[in-house]
Chains A and B, each alone.
Chain A
Amino acid sequence: MEIDPFIFRLSIFILSIFIGYYVVWSVTPSLHTPLMSVTNAISSVIIVGAIIAALAGTSESVFSISSIFGFLAIILAAINIGGFLVTQRMLQMYKKKKDKNK
């Protein structure tokens, strides 16, 4: 009997939780704020679903009810991608002593 592809996705999911667990524990506490902002930024990969939904319209009807929700989700997720820039700005500030004032 063939294995349902769902099981494979579930395996990826469970293993990723473990990866996340170990990776996050190794994050230095002083970088916890950038950690939150970068985890938030990578969540915007949900835009993938939004794009699929938005592109589902046909030439005659670009804006169906479901594609409108897709378009709205694209805007939300795209704003959220700005989280990478926020993170970058924060990380630029973490400098060692010698970098500055000497």
Chain B
Amino acid sequence: MISANLSAIFYLISGVLFILALRGLSSPDTSRQGNYFGIAGMIIAIVVTFLSIGNLSSSLVYVIIFLLIGGAIGAFIAFRIPMTAMPELVAGFHSLVGLAAVFVAIAAFLNPEAFNLGIVGRIKLASLVEMSIGAAVGAITFSGSIIAFLKLRGIMSGSPITFSGQHLLNLLLGIGVFVLIFYLCKTQSVNVFWTVIIISFLVGVLLIIPIGGADMPVVISMLNSYSGWAAAGIGFTLENTALIITGALVGSSGAILSYIMCKAMNRSFISVILGGFGADSASDNTKEKKDQKPVKSGNAEDAAFLMKNASSVIIVPGYGMAVAQAQHALREMVDKLKKNDIKVTYAIHPVAGRMPGHMNVLLAEANVPYDEVFELEDINNDFANSDVAFVIGANDVTNPVAKTDPKSPIFGMPVLDVEKCKSVLFVKRSLSPGYAGIDNELFYKDNTLMLFADAKKMTEDIVKNLD
């Protein structure tokens, strides 16, 4: 058994190691080392917890068994999960943190002596507030992440589910939780505590169902943030520095990512949360236009010809590439182009895909060196000097309407200036509008050649034609 002061110092050390873990991510070179800091921090925290509990009862064996079971499941998932499934994995893992926070809060509420929080029915007021906030946020994180997981996995439709009075209901439930926590502090009633948790589960579900598929980058970041605040709440209850530091780090990290994603879509955080975006809105007036305007379409042979004669090509990947799992075929195509001394770079929009950095991971998986991959602001000026833009699976993020039509729902969103390229190759299965429900003007430009096919199949065909 080690003293409370000594263990507090070790918890502080593990908190610092977690900070270093995030710090490492400032560059891919230092990132792996950062991850080891994180692992070290976790090991220290766990070992110190065991050492700080003096009388290790016979429970210890079970604790270790459960620890190993969980760890084995985690490791199994970690090694088996394909990179394309990363968004749903992260959503799933968030739900685990949320539920763990709820369970720890319940355990603390039922057995406060174990945590030095007073006795049943007379828990310290501050601790009670902290644990109920931790439990409520944890419950919202859990059920919200489950919905996000189901949507990302395609088990549940990605389209927004809305009903009238939805926001009012959410507001009332939210206020209800606060009132109940207040009431809980006065009565210490077990039933009120359970009610807080159940209502919070409901809030989590209601909060995420109105939000559509392409807003998922914001949702995942937001749930990331929530899981942090839940952990911090529990950290205060347990008076544990490592948990408080971690909660604060994760909470602010998720918040910043949500902010970056919202900015990349030129939408306010509130409008994303209220949801319903892209449900049906603009689809009527675009339908007529579509029939009238001529579209040039081509095949793999045309595309291969165009690219072979180019001196620079910019690839613009999007969610469609992830769905079609086209990243490996794409890499093969780029290798062939590079052999012909064609300069190839990748342009990535911040909200391409279903989570922040989604495209970067997929390209990295296909062994694309990260120094060929550029963010929006770093590459946008290069389109004007390039010969071919190869748009694969992206749509709304290339739509010039965002710059020209103030009435468009995506007006003001930063987009990739794809149309400035000498020619644009647009791989898409059909002319259907993207997630925002609006037509992409790029389809009808003179320098655009539409390649109607599955992204992976088209890329493979182009590879064949490049020989």
B250–A43 touching, CB < 8 Å: yes
Size range of the interface on A? 35 or more
Tell me the chain B residues, 247-263 only, with Cβ under 8 Å from chain A: 247-254, 256-257, 260
Q: Which of B96, B237, B246 has its CB near the most chain A CB atoms (within 10 A)?
A: B96
For B69, the chain A residues whose CB sits under 8 A away are 75, 78
A29–B355 touching, CB < 8 Å: no
How close is A9's CB to chain B, nearest CB, in angstroms? 6
Residues of chain B at interface, number, CB under 8 A: 116
Q: Would you call the interface of chain A mostly helix, strand, loop, or mixed? A: helix
For A39, the chain B residues whose CB sits under 8 A away are 22, 224, 228, 249-250, 253-254
Tell me the chain B residues, 24-67 only, with Cβ under 8 Å from chain A: 25-28, 31-32, 34-35, 38-39, 41-42, 45-46, 49-50, 53, 56-60, 62-63, 66-67
Tell me the chain A residues, 17-32 only, with Cβ under 8 Å from chain B: 17, 19-21, 23-32
B59–A29 touching, CB < 8 Å: no
B100 within 8 A of A: yes
For A55, the chain B residues whose CB sits under 8 A away are 53, 56-57, 59-60, 63, 114
A85–B75 touching, CB < 8 Å: yes
CA distance A20 to B251 in the complex (A): 8
CA distance A9 to B46 in the complex (A): 20
Number of A-B contacts (CB under 8 A): 381
A65–B110 touching, CB < 8 Å: yes
For B231, the chain A residues whose CB sits under 8 A away are 43, 45-46
**Complex partner residue of B248 from A13, A75, A79, CB under 8 angstroms:** A13
For B324, the chain A residues whose CB sits under 8 A away are none
How close is A57's CB to chain B, nearest CB, in angstroms? 5
**Complex partner residue of B100 from A30, A46, A66, CB under 8 angstroms:** A46
Task: Please name the residue on chain A nearest to B370 by beta carbon.
Answer: A94
**Complex partner residue of A78 from B59, B66, B254, CB under 8 angstroms:** B66
The 5 A-B residue pairs whose C-beta atoms are closest, nearest first, are: A82-B74, A78-B70, A32-B357, A56-B114, A16-B248
Known A23-B19, A79-B71; 14 more pairs at CB < 8 Å: A33-B357, A36-B355, A36-B357, A40-B94, A46-B243, A48-B240, A55-B114, A65-B110, A69-B110, A80-B100, A81-B42, A91-B32, A94-B31, A101-B367
Can you report 19 residue pairs joining A to B where beta carbons are below 8 Å apart?
A: A12-B245, A31-B28, A31-B31, A40-B93, A42-B42, A49-B107, A49-B243, A51-B67, A56-B113, A66-B110, A77-B96, A78-B68, A78-B70, A80-B74, A82-B73, A84-B39, A86-B86, A87-B35, A101-B367
